[in-house]
Amino acid sequence: MSDLAKDQEWDFIVIGGGITGLGTGAILANGGNKVLVLERNDNVGGRLRPTEKDGFILDNGLHLLKYGKESALYKTLELSDCHPEYIKFIPIRNYYVYIGLDDEHLKKTLDKECIDKNKWTKRGWLEVPHNVNKMKGCDYFNLWKLIRIYTTCFKCEFNDIKEKSLIKFLAEKRMCRAHGCIEVTRYLKLISTALMHCSDPHYISAGEIFRTIKWMSKRKVLFSYPKGGWQQIIDKLKNKIIENGGKVITDCEVKQLIFQKNKVEDQNAIVDLLSVEGVKTSLGDISSDNVVIAIPPKNVPNLFVDKVIIRRIMPEYQKVFESLDPVVGISIDFALDSVLYKSKTFMYVEEPSGYGSTISNIDPSIAPDGKQLMSFFFPFPHQMLTRQKMVDELIDKCKKGVYKRYPKIQDNILFERVLIHDLVDSVQVDVNNYWDKRPKPKVPGIKGCYLTGDYLRTYGASGELAYNAILTTCTKIRKIEQNYFI
């Protein structure tokens, strides 16, 4: 038995020290529970943990927070008493897409006077509105061109179109490019790329994207960035667990769960009920009546090594975990030797589909004085990153796309960092992985066994899935108020 088991009785063991594990642990700890978080790596924070190089703070890909103070992460910090009011979430106010002045549709849609009056449009950039008020002032993506999204799409019930791809839905409603609705299809592709990390309209769930746009249109802020970077949020959640008598242990691999079999009466019959007793780890056995599993879904079945349990409980879950298609992609950071661009905008790009920002203009503290950091992310179907030759070609294509739009970059690079992400989000919210098809937080048939992570049956897509999963799991455990969810 490990020293951890001898010294303490743990109300909850959380397996995994990523943002969902820390967030869930912090809320439980703030509710009076002794929480032990076990992380197999030498640091906590997971995909959210930044690194530092030559004075630049680099995120593991471009990490922005959807909805700012209206986000599930902000609610998590409130519920864990981590005082999010002391963190400044800097809003990104303007959003643009580059299509170039050679775009034939742009020439037909906007006259020369309209193009020349706007400094962005003159350079081939178009403003992308994220709510109705913004649409009223747009020339290209204006309210009258996008009105069918509101008058047609918003009338559809989620359950009626959740299994339908976006491209199929638009064709049925005569809203695709073939019917002259170029602005609508372009707008929806941009939204699905940036908000849902899915750039292919043949896969994206029509129900999920229109539900996302509904929520987006109600928010004052679409994306924001925490001033000073993400490490402070990781530290706040970790410290909250420790302050309340808990521990966060790194370099500790959990090998399997330990169960106890009990005989209980159910509908006048005696049946076996499994309950959690603890975990087997690289540091020894640790006891607890409650375990929260906060690791990537592909690794979850490995914790259930008992064949009886797998036959009784895990077959259905194993199929679910195997069917989850992750979001993968390529991120590129450019550390520049001087301040070349002054904009504080969110930039969409097409071919390949992606987005980026001059992130040090939004938060100057993440780059040395007089220098600049630009970051871009390009999501791809996971099949495209399986062969090295294809990966190399995609990296080259992504770089050329950035250089075309920002020609000054090439001669002013201090260093660039390219990351291949085989797991950005645990699930892509598409026609195969919409809300209903994902697992609930309570593992059926096992008392005291819970799941959390960015693959749960919860609301949203991409990064917000992880934060909503924290609230979903804690709602199940603690019965916290559920009125946060829309």
Per-residue pLDDT band for 270 (boundaries 50, 70, 90) equals: low
Q: What is the pLDDT of residue 311?
A: 65
Q: Is the pLDDT of residue 148 over 90?
A: no
Residue 56 has pLDDT above 50, yes or no: yes
Is residue 315, in this structure, part of any structural domain at all? Answer: yes
pTM over 0.85: yes
Asked if 303 and 339 sit in the same domain, the reply is no
419 and 332 in one domain?
yes
Query: Are 416 and 332 contained in the same domain?
Result: yes
User: Does residue 38 sit in the same domain as residue 116?
Assistant: no
Are 273 and 345 found together in one domain? no
Average pLDDT over residues 129-137: 77
Average pLDDT on 110-133 reads 69
Q: 72 lies in a domain? A: no
Q: pLDDT at residue 116 above 90? A: no
The CA–CA distances, whole Å, from 296 to 20, 34, 169, 420, 466 equal 11, 24, 32, 17, 11
Q: What percent of the chain has pLDDT over 70?
A: 87
Choose one of 425, 445, 469: the last residue of a domain.
425
**Does residue 318 lie in a domain region?**
yes
Q: Which range of residues forms the domain containing residue 147?
A: 131-218
Check pLDDT > 70 for residue 412: yes
Q: Which of 386, 401, 425 is the last residue of a domain?
A: 425
Q: Does residue 68 lie within any of the structural domains?
A: no
Q: What is the pLDDT of residue 109?
A: 67
What is the average per-residue pLDDT within 147-171?
87
Give the per-residue pLDDT at 111: 59
* Residue 278, C-beta contacts closer than 8 angstroms, at least 6 positions apart: 5, 13, 257, 258, 285, 286, 287, 288, 291
Could you tell me the two tokens for 424? Answer: 């950005």
* Total tally of structural domains belonging to the chain: 3
- In this structure, are 441 and 314 located in the same domain? yes
pLDDT of 264: 65
Residue 112's domain is classified under what CATH number?
Answer: 3.90.660
- If asked whether residues 93 and 112 sit together in one domain, one would say yes
Would you say residue 485 lies in a domain? Answer: no
pLDDT > 60? residue 388: yes
Do 26 and 141 lie in one domain? The reply is no
Most confident of 126-130, 161-165, 372-376: 372-376
Contacts of 362 (CB under 8 A, 6+ apart): 90, 92, 225, 344
Q: Are residues 246 and 320 in the same domain?
A: yes
- Which range (118-122, 238-242, 401-405, 437-441) has the least confidence? 118-122
Using one digit for the tens of pLDDT, what is the confidence trace for 63-77? 999 999 999 999 999
Res 112 pLDDT > 70: no
Average pLDDT, the chain: 86
Q: At residue 83, does pLDDT exceed 70?
A: yes
Interval 171-177 mean pLDDT: 81
Model confidence at 150, pLDDT cuts 50, 70, 90, reads confident
**What's the CATH code of the domain at 9?**
3.50.50.60
**Considering the domain boundaries, does residue 245 fall inside one?**
yes
What DSSP string describes 418-480? EEEEEEEES---BTTS-GGGSPPSBPTTEETEEE-STTSS-S--THHHHHHHHHHHHHHHH--
Q: Is a pLDDT exceeding 80 seen at residue 32? A: yes
41, part of any domain: yes
- Contact (Cβ atoms closer than 8 angstroms) between residue 34 and residue 10: yes
Q: Answer whether residue 250 shows pLDDT above 90.
A: yes
- Tokens matching residue 142: 């204006």
> Does 8 lie in the same domain as 43?
yes
CA 333 to CA 371: how far, in whole Å? 13
Report, as an integer, the average pLDDT of 238-264.
Answer: 92
pLDDT tens digits, 284-341? 999 999 999 999 998 998 898 776 666 666 666 777 777 888 889 999 999 999 999 9
Is 74 contained in some domain?
Answer: no
- Domain identity same for 362 and 416: yes
Q: What is the number of residues in the chain?
A: 486
Q: Does the pLDDT at position 480 exceed 60?
A: no
How confident is the model at residue 265, as a pLDDT? 64
> Domain boundary at 218, 248, 264, which?
218
Calculate mean pLDDT across residues 444-461.
Answer: 90
- Predicted confidence at residue 39, as pLDDT, reads 98
- Give the HSE-up count for residue 433: Cα atoms under 13 Å, Cβ half-sphere: 26
Residues 445 and 309 in one domain: yes
Neighbours of 98 (CB within 10 A): 19
